[in-house]
Amino acid sequence: MRLPELLKLTEGRLLVDAKEDVFMDRAYAADLLSDVLALTDEQTTLITGTTSPQVIRVAEILNIVAIIFVRGKQPSDAVLEYALRLGIPIITTKKAMFEICGLMYENGVKPCKDRPMPEKKPSV
């Protein structure tokens, strides 16, 4: 799914545009950022209602491809400026998280996978 399709589907508003063409095929939804850090795979779109400054830093560390703020939430200008610098598109929608998840899933976006971790802990 690309941004124009997502905006139409979610009746969303684009707050920060992408630097490059973005394709969203996986997503993860959570308000707790440690859950996001624990469970997201590469190339994930984040669906969240949390607007703290840490959202964009988590997105940077995880290489999140786009952030969708639900329930009409809008992050601060500082977050938007940081997103612009990183080239991470930011979308806000009035719809709730459950509905956004359902709409995206119905249109082919899949859940992100839990990242496999090494089973054996090698000694240093």
Partner 1 sequence: MQGSAYAREEALCIEFDVRAGDVEHGGMASSQIKAALKQFGLSEPVARRAGIIAFEGEMNLIVYSDSGGTIRVCVDSEYIEITVQDFGPGIEDVDLALTPGYSTAPAWATDLGFGAGMGLHNMEKNADRFEIHSRLDEGTTISCWVKRRTDDSS
Binding region for partner 1 (CB under 8 A): 31-35, 37-38, 42, 48, 50, 52-55, 57-58, 60-63, 117-118, 121-124
Instruction: State the nearest-atom distance from the C-beta of 111 to partner 1, in Å.
Output: 18
Please identify, using beta-carbon distances, which residue of 8 and 124 lies nearer to partner 1.
Answer: 124
CB atoms within 10 A of CB 26: 17
Instruction: State the nearest-atom distance from the C-beta of 4 to partner 1, in Å.
Output: 28
Instruction: State the nearest-atom distance from the C-beta of 61 to partner 1, in Å.
Output: 4
Please identify, using beta-carbon distances, which residue of 27 and 62 lies nearer to partner 1.
Answer: 62
84 touches 78 (CB < 8 A): no
State how far the Cα of 26 lies from the Cα of 111, in Å rounded to an integer.
5
Instruction: State the nearest-atom distance from the C-beta of 101 to partner 1, in Å.
Output: 18
Task: Give, in order, the Cα–Cα distances in Å from 24 to each of 2, 21, 34.
Answer: 6, 10, 22
| Residue carrying the six token digits 């009746």 | 11
Please identify, using beta-carbon distances, which residue of 3 and 29 lies nearer to partner 1.
Answer: 29
Residue 70 tokens, joined = 């639900």
